[in-house]
Each structure stands twice: as C-alpha cells, then as structure tokens.
C-alpha cells in the first residue's frame, strides 16, 4: 500500500481500494439478491441491457467487430469494471469522510433501480428490493473499510500501531473482496438451478406427425458417402453446437408454469395458450436450416435442426386474421421484437411455434418454452426465442428491434454455400482430396453445387440426400490436388435456377453475398 499522507486523511491507495471493494460488493449483493427472484435481472445486467437497447448502431458494430461472439460478456465485464473504477474514484473523494462515497453509492443504487424496473423482466418491487440490498451492503463495506483505513492520528480513542492498522485494513479488504467473488459465483449457481431448467428437463414431447419419416430420411442420408466425408458439417447440427445469437445479456429462464403465449392485434379473437396447450398440439416435425443475417460468407452462424411444434398458420387461423394485417410481429419475454410479412406464414413454408429441437424440449438458451422457426427468413426478422406474444399488425406501423438499427425490413435468406474441408490455410498431401461442405437455400432448396480450383472450370459436386427444401444439403467433390498453393471456391444454385452471386457484400443490411474461397497448400 502507498504510504499515508502527513495529514489526518486516509491515504489515496487505501481510499481507492475501499471505494472499489465497496462498489464490487454492492454489485455482487445486488446480483445475488436478484438471482433469488430469477429471472429478475440484477443491477449489472439491467444497466448493460439498457446500454444494448439504446446504443447507436456504430457502437453495436464496434463491439461485434472487436469482440465477436464475446461482445455480450465483454459488455457485462466492462459495465462491472466501470462501476468498480467509479467506486475507486468515489473512495478518493472520501479520504476525510465516507459521506461522498456513500452518497455516490446511493445515487448509483437509484440508477440501478431504474434500470431493473425498466427491464421487461423487472418491475418496481423487485428493483427496490434488489437495489436496497446492494446499497446497504455497499455502504456497510465502505464504512468498515474507511474506519480500518483511518491513520493513527484520527483514532484518538483507540491508539494503535500503524503496522497493525495497515494489516487490519488489508485483511478487511481481502475478506470483503473474497465475499464479493463468492456472492457473484453464488448468483450464477442460483440462476443455473432455476425452475425453468427443472421444468424443461421434465418435458416429454409427444410423437409428432412426420417424425418417423424425418427420422428415416436422416438415417438414410447418414449412410451416404457424402455424409461420411471427414470434416464435413453433420447433416443435423447437435443442440450444443447450434449457433447462439441474441441480444440477451442474461438469457431468460422461463418457468412454463407462469408463462403463456398470447396472439393479439388485428385478429377476430385474442387467444392465450399455455405450454401444455402447445405440447398437446405440437404434431409437426420438420428439418429447417436457420441462419443469422450477420453470418459472413463461409461463416459458422448457421445450423440445421429438426424442429417440433405447432404450425403458425393453425394458430393464426384460429385467431382469425383480419384483412390488412400485413405483418406478423412477435415479442420475447425480455422485450426483444421482430416482424415478417403475414404472407410468409401462408405460402407453404415451414413456420412453427416450436417447442422441441432434435427430439427433445427446446434448450433454455434456444428459447424454452417456445420460439418461432420460419424457413427462409433470417433470424432477426423471424426467430423470436422465449416467445411471449404474436401480434398481427401492419407492415408500416411496426418495426422490429433491428430495423431502426440499420437492418433491412425484409430478411429473406440468401442462397449460400460453404467449404468445410479443407480448411482455410490447410496443408494437404497431393493426390485425391475431398472438398466438401454444405449449401442452403431454405424454402427453395439446393439443386446444384459447383467447385472451382484456381481459375479453372467449375466442377459439379455430388450432393448428399435432401431432407427437404428447408434443410441444407451436404456436398463433396473429389479433387486431384497437385503441389503448390491453390484457391478453392464454391457456389450453389437453388431449385429456382438462381446461382448465388460472386459479388462480395457485407452482412449489413440484409445478409452477406459472395463465393466462399479457401486457400490451401498442397505438398
């Protein structure tokens, strides 16, 4: 620790440590209190959520470019570190008296309370309780450490040895810091043991119509030489490997016992469904490839799963869609929204309120208890997880979450193909090399995949078995590799006869285009 000043104030080192530890303790106490009432967010996540909701597009793009898929953890960590740094500053401002830091902690408690109350999963009662706990703990830790940090000149009623005073402060700061870490870990454990997880584990999906046919098609496709190509993406993406993209910093954990799905808006009758209602009606099983609009050419933000659920059109017909209702808007329990043209629910594509994924209940992180799955549309306009409401509205009167942030109103998935093997920059041995990967054009289907080596002619690849127009297709091309550096390119043609363009454009505003190109070295 730095030496104390020659006056009777607390030294700057101890003051900063006292403020920082008090701020950390307050945050951890707030998160622990919120976890007891999960899915209520604590102050850290609530404030970070408000940042996400109100951040300009350039800030979101910066986070994704710098941190990639770790952008949300980076935001939470940054919010925490900023709060601790402010706490250190408040501590420095409180070298003579703890009052400035106490006032500062109280002010940040009010900020946290407003953030929790404004969260879709929050509310004023929970916000008051959580932040009262946080502020009380912060004040208590600050007062304790401030007292332990006082120089001997201030302790006129209790003469002590300066070395003992320093040791007492360090011990108290260490104990408070350790308790803060333990409280944060306990909050994570309590959230992980939520009622939602218990309920999800107890769900048994009923046999769905077409399930046997889909299972037979998957099994048959699995025997083809294309599917067995080493390094190729599996025909069905396992739940644990399926990409995860959402705006939720603290993913909702929804207890279906307290959950309903409402259909509202421009309908003849508003309807409400429980999870049991949907499970009883979830008779449709279909393989559908989902892709994120932010997926780069050749990227991994795409997956193919077998979904089980209730056809969206059945629910809409039961509600009675009124003339002029041109958009199906949907909301998540955490307030996220999106919307797509109503005609997409009626044009024959697979559109489900899904309750199952790959033969089991939806995983918590993929939207349990229910989500939307719409073939041929990017997730930002259709794939609402933790679904709470479907509203029929007009296309002009409603914009989903991402539309004001610069993304296109319409989000049809563009035909894409990807080389899985060999990987970029790989060294391969001369001779026959399997060039293989997947291609997708959901709702239309893949008719042909071609591969080009350097500037040579396009060669047609062998396609794996089709599970239907909504699912991706595997492909493979035997290549007679010769020594040297080579560029491999792939392009796909969909069932309508359209071949994907070679024009390279970034994901913003409506999806990337271009041919996936992989450089390799042959030895």
pLDDT digits (tens, 9 = 90+) for 128-142: 999 999 999 999 999
Q: How many angstroms from the chain centroid is the CA of residue 443?
A: 25
Which of 193, 225, 252 is the last residue in one of the domains? 193
Is residue 411 situated within a structural domain?
no
Other CB atoms closer than 10 Å to residue 45's CB: what's the count?
A: 24
Retrieve residue 305's tokens: 């799963």
Where b means 16+ CB within 10 Å and e means fewer, 154-175 reads: beeeeeeeeeebbeebeebbee
List the 458-460 sheet strands across, edge first.
Answer: 427-428, 516-522, 484-494, 446-453, 458-460
Residues 62 and 168 grouped into a single domain: yes
For 127-176, write each residue's pLDDT tens digit. Answer: 899 999 999 999 999 998 988 887 755 555 544 445 556 788 888 889 99
Residues 391 and 452 grouped into a single domain: no
Is residue 514 situated within a structural domain?
yes
For 108-117, write each residue's pLDDT tens digit. Answer: 899 989 988 8
**For a pLDDT cut of 70, what percent of the chain falls above it?**
94
Residues 426 and 316 grouped into a single domain: no
Is residue 350 situated within a structural domain?
yes
For 325-359, write each residue's pLDDT tens digit. Answer: 999 999 999 999 999 999 999 999 999 999 999 99
Which of 356, 381, 405 is the last residue in one of the domains? 405
Lowest model confidence (mean pLDDT) among 71-75, 132-136, 396-400, 430-434? 71-75
Residues 455-483, mean pLDDT to the nearest whole number: 95
Which DSSP letter does residue 324 get? T
Cα–Cα distance between 114 and 50 in angstroms, integer? 10
Is residue 19 situated within a structural domain?
yes
Retrieve residue 238's tokens: 């396992």
Q: Which residue has the higher pLDDT, 192 or 352?
A: 352
Q: Dihedral angle at the C-alpha atoms of 141, 147, 149, 154, nearest 10 degrees? A: 160
* Closest to 353 in 3D by CA, of 321, 320, 316: 316
Residues 396 and 466 grouped into a single domain: no
The predicted model scores a pTM of: 0.82
Residues 376 and 435 grouped into a single domain: no
Residues 400 and 443 grouped into a single domain: no
CATH number of the domain residue 491 falls in = 2.60.40.650
Cα–Cα distance between 519 and 23 in angstroms, integer? 50
Is residue 323 situated within a structural domain?
yes
For 84-114, write each residue's pLDDT tens digit. Answer: 999 999 999 988 888 999 999 999 899 989 9
Which pLDDT belongs to residue 6? Answer: 43
pLDDT tier, 1 (very low <50, low <70, confident <90, very high otherwise) = very low
Cα–Cα distance between 185 and 251 in angstroms, integer? 17
Count how many domains the chain has: 3
- Which H or E run includes 253? none
Residues 28 and 49 grouped into a single domain: yes
Which pLDDT belongs to residue 162? Answer: 54
Q: How far is CA 18 from CA 89, 139, 179, in A?
A: 10, 11, 14
Which pLDDT belongs to residue 382? Answer: 97
Which of 135, 160, 193 is the last residue in one of the domains? 193
Residues 262 and 300 grouped into a single domain: yes
Residues 185 and 282 grouped into a single domain: no
* Closest to 281 in 3D by CA, of 350, 211, 212, 206: 206
Question: Going by C-beta distance under 8 Å and a sequence separation of 6 or more, which residues neighbour residue 404?
Answer: none
Which pLDDT belongs to residue 219? Answer: 83
Is residue 7 situated within a structural domain?
no
Cα–Cα distance between 484 and 427 in angstroms, integer? 10
Residues 388 and 423 grouped into a single domain: no
Q: Where are the beta strands (DSSP E) in 358-408?
A: 360-361, 371-374, 387-393
Residues 35 and 137 grouped into a single domain: yes
Residues 399 and 446 grouped into a single domain: no
Which pLDDT belongs to residue 4? Answer: 44
Which pLDDT belongs to residue 321? Answer: 97
φ, ψ for residue 187, nearest 5 deg = -60, -45
CATH number of the domain residue 322 falls in = 3.90.420.10
Is residue 198 situated within a structural domain?
no
In terms of residue numbers, what domain contains 441? 416-522
Q: Which residue has the tokens 């993304």?
A: 407
**For a pLDDT cut of 90, what percent of the chain falls above it?**
63
Q: Which residue has the higher pLDDT, 246 or 494?
A: 494
pLDDT tier, 124 (very low <50, low <70, confident <90, very high otherwise) = confident
Report whether pLDDT(502) > 50: yes
Residues 484-506, mean pLDDT to the nearest whole number: 96
Lowest model confidence (mean pLDDT) among 49-58, 323-332, 359-368? 49-58
3-state secondary structure of 218: helix
Q: What is the mean pLDDT of the chain?
A: 89
Is residue 200 situated within a structural domain?
no
Lowest model confidence (mean pLDDT) among 66-70, 425-429, 511-515? 66-70
pLDDT tier, 277 (very low <50, low <70, confident <90, very high otherwise) = very high
* Closest to 51 in 3D by CA, of 305, 247, 328, 341: 247
Q: How far is CA 252 from CA 54, 131, 339, 370, 383, in A?
A: 20, 20, 20, 12, 15
């Amino acid at each position: 620790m730095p030496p104390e000043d020659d006056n009777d104030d607390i030294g700057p080192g101890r003051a900063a440590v006292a403020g920082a530890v008090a701020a950390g303790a307050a945050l951890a106490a707030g998160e622990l209190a919120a976890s007891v009432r999960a899915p209520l967010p604590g102050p850290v996540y609530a404030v970070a959520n408000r940042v996400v909701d109100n951040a300009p597009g350039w800030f979101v793009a910066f986070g994704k470019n710098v941190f990639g898929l770790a952008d949300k953890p980076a935001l939470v960590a940054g919010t925490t570190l900023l709060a601790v740094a402010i706490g250190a500053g408040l501590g420095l401002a409180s070298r003579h008296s703890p009052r400035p830091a106490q006032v500062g902690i109280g002010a940040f408690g009010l900020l946290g309370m407003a953030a929790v109350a404004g969260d879709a999963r929050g509310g004023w009662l929970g916000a008051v309780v959580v932040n009262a706990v946080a502020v009380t703990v912060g004040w208590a830790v600050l007062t304790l450490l401030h007292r332990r940090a006082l120089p001997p000149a201030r302790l006129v009623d209790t003469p002590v040895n300066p070395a003992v005073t320093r040791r007492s402060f360090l011990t108290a700061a260490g104990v408070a810091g350790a308790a803060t870490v333990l409280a944060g870990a306990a909050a994570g454990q309590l959230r992980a043991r939520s009622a939602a997880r218990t309920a999800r584990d107890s769900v048994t999906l009923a046999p769905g119509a077409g399930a046997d046919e889909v299972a037979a098609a998957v099994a048959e496709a699995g025997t083809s030489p294309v599917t067995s190509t080493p390094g190729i993406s599996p025909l069905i993406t396992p739940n644990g490997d399926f990409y995860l993209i959402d705006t939720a910093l603290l993913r909702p954990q929804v207890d279906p016992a307290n959950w309903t799905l409402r259909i509202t808006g421009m309908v003849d009758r508003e309807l409400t469904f429980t999870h049991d209602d949907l499970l009883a009606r979830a008779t449709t099983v279909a393989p559908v490839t989902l892709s994120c609009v932010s997926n780069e050419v050749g990227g991994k933000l795409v997956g193919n799963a077998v979904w089980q659920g209730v056809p969206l059109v059945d629910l809409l017909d039961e509600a009675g869609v009124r003339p002029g209702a041109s958009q199906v808007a949907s909301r998540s329990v955490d307030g996220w929204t999106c919307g797509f043209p109503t005609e997409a629910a009626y044009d024959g594509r697979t559109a489900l309120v899904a309750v199952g994924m790959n033969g089991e209940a939806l995983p918590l992180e993929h939207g349990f208890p229910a989500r939307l799955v719409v073939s041929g549309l990017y997730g930002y306009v259709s794939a609402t997880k933790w679904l709470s409401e479907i509203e029929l509205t007009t296309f002009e009167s409603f914009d989903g979450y991402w539309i004001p942030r610069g993304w296109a109103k319409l989000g049809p998935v563009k035909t894409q193909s990807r080389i899985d093997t060999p990987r970029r920059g790989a060294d391969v041995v001369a001779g026959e090399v399997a060039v293989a990967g997947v291609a997708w054009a959901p709702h239309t289907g893949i008719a042909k995949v071609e591969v080009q080596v350097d500037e040579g002619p396009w060669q047609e690849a062998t396609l794996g078995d089709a599970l239907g127009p909504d699912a991706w297709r595997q492909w493979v091309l035997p290549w007679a590799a010769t020594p040297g550096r080579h560029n491999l390119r792939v392009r796909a043609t969909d069932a309508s006869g359209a071949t994907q363009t070679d024009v390279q454009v970034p994901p913003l505003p409506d999806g990337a285009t271009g041919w996936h190109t992989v450089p390799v070295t042959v030895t």
